[in-house]
Amino acid sequence: MKNTKQEKKQQVDDAKRTFLSGENFYAQHLLGAHQEQDGYIFRVWAPNALAVSLVGDFNNWQDLPMEKDESSGIWQVYTDKANEGELYKFKVKQADGREILKIDPFAVRFEKRPGDAAELYNFPEKKWKDGLWRGRSKRTNAFKRPLNIYEMHASSWKHHEDGAPYSFADLKDELVPYLAEMNYTHVEFMPLMEHPLGRSWGYQLIGYFAMSSYYGTPAEFQDFVEACHLNNIGVLVDWVPGHYCINDDTLPYYDGTPQFEYTDPDRAKNNRWGSINFDLGKPQVQSFLISSAMYWIEMFHIDGIRVDAVSSMIYRDYDDGPWTPNHEGGNRNFEGYYFLQKLNAVIKLAHPNILMIAEESSSETPVTGMIESGSLGFDFKWNMGWMNDVLRFYEMDPLYRKDNFNLITFSFMYMMQENFILPLSHDEVVHGKKSLMHKMWGDRYKQFAQLRNLYTYFMTHPGKKLLFMGSEWGQFLEWKFDKGLEWVDLDDPLNHSMQHFTAELNDFYKNQTALWELEDSYDTIEIIDADNTEESVLTFMRKGKRKKDFLIIVLNMTPIERREFHIGVPYPGTYKEIWNTEMKEFGGTWTKHNEDCQSEPIKFKEYGQLIKTTVPALGAIILKPETINTRKK
């Protein structure tokens, strides 16, 4: 028994040492509350606190003094009075003598809002059944596979009749079949970690190891993820390692001194979002954050993490307030830069198949690719430039599109600089920006026609895909975080047809290898005509590995039908229309496809063969070779 106690003490001492050095990536096993013998042991890191006490339901919220390990700054106490389900906090006597009740930064469960006390919670043992999915993921190259993400805010997808949001138990029953029916490959949730204010959408966190009790229990989320995997759907989660909630009883100035935050108040304060920035260069903070990421990956079997607001972590001048140049006189935040490289290196070493995704708005720093080449080491980056340009274009009166055609073609110049995801995200359908449907020019019929056109461009442009919930059927109202989506829209035939269109387009994307097989190479695309500004028609090809595997995409950006439209093709033969956004089943007026096109030996641009067809007004068509001779051009 003595040796066992000594071994356990050594394990704890080793965990403290690696926590202090920034190399403990399972710090939740050391800190927080843990069941031990007939009670619980509590540990909290507060190096400059004058005293710390444990208070909770089990001691009538009276002080139970904790003992400090001077070498680590970690306070500890054991009690056999605590029971699962009871609430607790730490009373911290801060460096200036002020006493304040603080949360447990490592809590895995919190009481429901508006309270923020931690709850003692023991995970029920989960016997996972998703081994087939996880094994297949390890053998799959994500860069050469379809990736089509349905982005969600968990509590505003649907509400019950009494106004209560769906829990993950509800989402398991309704959302999983919906994702399968709509042919999405992945679902991505805005942050699920504990946050006290719903209005923050989860981007101002207090609990980095706790799923918000607003969404149900951690066990329910585990079951949800498993159900997704059994239906061949991946699960991604947003995560916010840059900044955190400013509430005084949470993480800020935990022991009365800059503990989780930068010492420089200008660097600590995030003026833009009214929050506090993590000191990403501090080893203990690195242990805390990387442990959080690993926890979500391993405890919930998620398939990837989208890191929010990367620009705010790698540039000192990103915020609206005063800033100080680094030691080289520049704006690089070296602490954030090296932390993100370390984060990606650690996660990829332990879990090579986990997708690491960056939401980053600048182009000054390589984000995806090998860390050894100076990149941050992410797998994918949101293409914010594409999103901004394209939405500006589709909001525009077609009369002016010919003079702004570069808005939809400029992305072809840089599309391989990073591994991109094309995001039509929540950020574009709030704060008066209008929904995607509402952004479209013209009357209601033209708006739907353009939305179908936009989604076809979105799905055929190189890059993985992300679409925010409600956009799949063209919800007209902006997203509201505290209400369910406008499901009543689907009683309208045009909205219903739009939803059907999106499901069919998603299925088309999954089944057309030319849209993703060579996506990490310029070989995936060939521009046929990006200079037809007068007619405002864009024509390009997407190509797969096989010579005969290619698609011809034609997008008409005006309300004028283009008859006898000329398209250059690489080989002589017959070309078949396999996609037309104006089909009646999608909400258009066409009852049958264009007839097959037989090429003629007429030169067009760089091509020796020409086909002619009709392109619908504000419509898009896709052609595929039916019978061609690849030995001739």
If one counts every other C-beta atom within 10 angstroms of the C-beta of residue 246, the result is 15
Does the annotation mark 529 as catalytic? no
Per DSSP, the residues of 520-576 read TSGGGEEEEES--TTTTEEEEEEE-SSTT-EEEEEEE-SSS-EEEEEEEESSSEEEE
3 state SS of 426: helix
Does the annotation mark 359 as catalytic? yes
356 contacts: CB under 8 Å, gap ≥ 6:
304, 305, 307, 343, 344, 347, 348, 377, 378, 379, 380
Closest CA relative to residue 539, chosen from 623, 599, 603? 623
Three-point CA angle 225, 226, 232, nearest 5°: 90
Q: For residue 122, give both structure tokens.
A: 């023991």
Catalytic residue among 151, 170, 308, 335: 308
**Percent helix, strand, coil in the chain (nearest 5)?**
35, 25, 40
Q: For residue 468, give both structure tokens.
A: 């925010």
**Hey, what amino acid is at 419?**
N
Cα dihedral 577, 580, 583, 588, rounded to 10, equals -150
For residue 77, what are the β-bridge partners?
42
Cα separation of the two ends of the chain: 82
**Hey, what amino acid is at 149?**
I
Catalytic residue among 319, 359, 418, 517: 359
> Which position has the token pair 């009543």?
488
| Residues tagged active-site | 308, 359
